[in-house]
Structure 1
């Protein structure tokens, strides 16, 4: 075992500017929390109150994940690209031949998971824009299996092009913009999470007793799947844990920017802890507010509650009458701004994943380029182009099904890597050091996430009617191989020796 004063971790470092702090990482990481706007309506209209204990458990696993990533990011401030970038150094000592491939595939899966967030949130924003402006959303196309209004496509494409400007300008400009957007996004999320306080008379707390399904049956009663089969509720819980986990752990995105913080040892702990705490608050309180205010009968009737605009419907129920209409507009505008924040983060964060993969030797050299603002510009513009393609998939659930094949799977090697570093290299300098038993918690999370990724994903693709998107996600993961082989061919052509591991 190495002496604690000499044991150091060698790894490839990025060359991005250090122009932010814990606040910058925190507000950009809120892009993960805003995903509740797409998740809560989709799950509440399937499960009702039974969704609440279900989401609470998985959200708490996200808090633990944030703590683990805080330790890793503080240890390796030179790594950029988020959680998968920490796997490579963790595997290099014990599994030197495997380490480059663990690094490459986990980073690529993370990119497949995060890149679709930009088009997803622009699509969600378009629903609110068309709602408040009264635009006709009846005309559109059906490219895969979901109807997409022309207005949605137009708003999404224009929004992505506009957001590429601050993303191109770099972390200083992007974070300043994100700070304004973050404040405006936290207002509606916080308000809606405790909305029942403002109209206690409209709250029916009996809706929570026993956490029943929408039809009033118990939490343990059989449910009807989307394909019409009557199945055990645990089949449904396991199936829907697959898309749910995408949203409730996504606030880990703050880790993408720890390497660009001025004091990563301090900033990692603050940013990741705040991110997890606020995520738990929003993801648990919002479903409670919706259930007690709207009720199971309304949630089960699309004529009364449209899942696409459920948040503004909730606002008008809290403040009925003229006040309700004004609040509906206010909530819609602030949610649009919040969704734009999330899309901005996706364009910025995913580019760092491609950049770090290229530095590590698993992705074409083309993506090592940074512009005068120290931004990996080619990677970022690749995100914009890919996002426009993803926009043709349609709605939130379809995109979640596709992207989570990559996103959730990317955490398994990272969590195992945390165990390896904690177990094999206990004397490494750790500016933020969790108790030793967290290495076993990391292994438990790795097993849980792998189970949901494999078993939950397959069950969901069958019973949830999302098989085409699940297998498109698998296909996207295997696209890593030709890109990796291209990089190896580049290295041979240039006479570059393989990286030492």
Structure 2
């Protein structure tokens, strides 16, 4: 068990250390287990690249997707420092935001955590519906029945709900089934990745003339173009920045310091290669107009050209596996965020429960309920994405700036992977950039065709809910007082069972 340093120990009265007899998170993961969880990111770009290319052209799509991933890689490097400073914290980057900001603005923690949770949890609804739609288009195109009387129900939504419930059941059984599911679906992912990243370059009809550039503002001015770029970078942040999911499992790695660093860096470099090659390979093989007309359907057409109709059906199954992988990572990561929030005093105690399989199951209940409601009551996935993205980007702003604040406010904390000074400057630049991204992207979202002001207000409402739950925890459950400036640094220690470290 990690023991805090003595000056901080004296100020830890309001934060309880986990009881050794209480079910806890187990150290059963290696760095490559976290890497597999981050393989959900290629699934994100596969699912949405057709929409981007259809709007911006292949080179425009390359610019915004590769730009987003370069930013994500730099952020992952910066997150290696706080990940090893607080190895006992479950919940990932939202916990770093909490630690860095609590003495200056206590609401930064709950706002970051609820934003982080919303960003990851929404993957269940979005990819459940995407998978359902792909299954319908590929094998059940005649099943066009639908119900739209207060709720929205059709075959894709039924499939989405079944997937959400199935993944909840698997994740509730512990980390081992989650890892097995991750390796199975992650392995399936590599086949379509090769067919989409490499093979198109060798097709006889691959043409550089298909690599068009459409990343220009409505009036052609520099200002409108910058606005368009920032809007798309803001949209892509929801998927590209997600490689930080490796940090969410920091307390569960065998060697927290080494495994967390390896998982963060290696997953980032792999995803960088994917995000660089996919727009070029697919853009040269399938025209902008064809991708725009069928943002998902064009994959089936391309696969038929590469391997025929029978092989195409098989690879579509593998594509579905990549989407299920994303949902699997979201279910596991979202539940741990709510658990970490509760253990850190940022939300109600009810979430701080672990079942007999050492899984934070109550967070999963909420994930399942919220996403099934989203599937039934929201007409498209657009509203889900647009609403959840605001809090997720805000979480990164708070987490990156927390690294700088912790250097200033708590210089005595151990930093096993201490960043050099140039990286602190990079962190500062990224904070400013993400602030601009949030300010421009959230208010210009409609120019991408993915939402408008209604989704902005939903995103603000989610942040407000996080703040209200934090206030309730402090005043009602902890019998304390609510303050915007919490002077006491956290010394939270989540007990991790050492006997499983060699498992």
Shorter-chain TM range is 0.7 to 0.9
Alignment of 1:206-355 (within 5 A): 206-208=209-211, 211-213=212-214, 219=215, 221-223=216-218, 232-300=224-292, 302=293, 306-317=294-305, 319=306, 323-355=307-339
What residue number does 2:184 align with?
Answer: 180
Quote how far apart the aligned CAs of 1:222 are.
4.4
Cα pair distance change 1:489/1:24, threshold 3 Å? same
What residue number does 1:216 align with?
Answer: none
Are positions 1:168 and 2:172 aligned together?
Answer: yes
Aligned mate of 2:405, from 415, 420, 426: 420
Quote how far apart the aligned CAs of 1:118 are.
1.1
What residue number does 1:118 align with?
Answer: 124
Residues 223-259 of structure 1 show CA distances to partners (whole Å, capped at 9, x for unaligned) of 489xxxx993333222222211111111211111122
TM-score (norm 1): 0.86
Cα pair distance change 1:142/1:356, threshold 3 Å? same
Quote how far apart the aligned CAs of 1:294 are.
0.6
d(CA) in 2 for partners of 1:466 and 1:80? 32
Q: Which stretch shifts more, 486-495 or 30-39?
A: 486-495
Quote how far apart the aligned CAs of 1:307 are.
1.1
CA contact (8 A) 1:72 1:418 kept: yes
CA contact (8 A) 2:210 2:285 kept: no
d(CA) in 2 for partners of 1:334 and 1:485? 45
Are positions 1:435 and 2:435 aligned together?
Answer: no
d(CA) in 1 for partners of 2:118 and 2:128? 17
Q: Which runs of 5+ in 2 are unaligned?
A: 19-23, 490-503
Quote how far apart the aligned CAs of 1:187 are.
2.5
What residue number does 1:79 align with?
Answer: 89
What residue number does 2:73 align with?
Answer: 63
d(CA) in 1 for partners of 2:68 and 2:8? 32
Quote how far apart the aligned CAs of 1:267 are.
0.5
d(CA) in 2 for partners of 1:133 and 1:45? 25
> Aligned with 1:135: secondary structure?
coil
Are positions 1:476 and 2:462 aligned together?
Answer: yes
Cα pair distance change 1:432/1:463, threshold 3 Å? closer
Cα pair distance change 1:441/1:231, threshold 3 Å? closer
CA contact (8 A) 1:126 1:155 kept: yes
Q: Which stretch shifts more, 368-377 or 131-140?
A: 131-140
Quote how far apart the aligned CAs of 1:292 are.
0.3
> Aligned with 2:144: secondary structure?
coil
CA contact (8 A) 1:461 1:470 kept: no
Aligned mate of 1:31, from 34, 40, 43: 40
Cα pair distance change 1:22/1:155, threshold 3 Å? same
Q: Which stretch shifts more, 66-75 or 274-283?
A: 66-75
CA contact (8 A) 2:54 2:289 kept: no
d(CA) in 2 for partners of 1:489 and 1:427? 31
Quote how far apart the aligned CAs of 1:299 are.
3.0
Aligned mate of 2:53, from 38, 44, 56: 44
> Aligned with 1:369: secondary structure?
coil
Cα pair distance change 1:485/1:163, threshold 3 Å? same
Quote how far apart the aligned CAs of 1:29 are.
2.0
CA contact (8 A) 1:255 1:268 kept: yes
Cα pair distance change 1:134/1:74, threshold 3 Å? same
CA contact (8 A) 2:348 2:472 kept: yes
Quote how far apart the aligned CAs of 1:170 are.
1.4
CA contact (8 A) 1:66 1:272 kept: yes
d(CA) in 1 for partners of 2:196 and 2:468? 46
Residues 376-418 of structure 1 show CA distances to partners (whole Å, capped at 9, x for unaligned) of 1111111111111222434444322121011111111110011
TM-score (norm 2): 0.86
CA contact (8 A) 2:122 2:371 kept: yes
d(CA) in 2 for partners of 1:419 and 1:34? 32
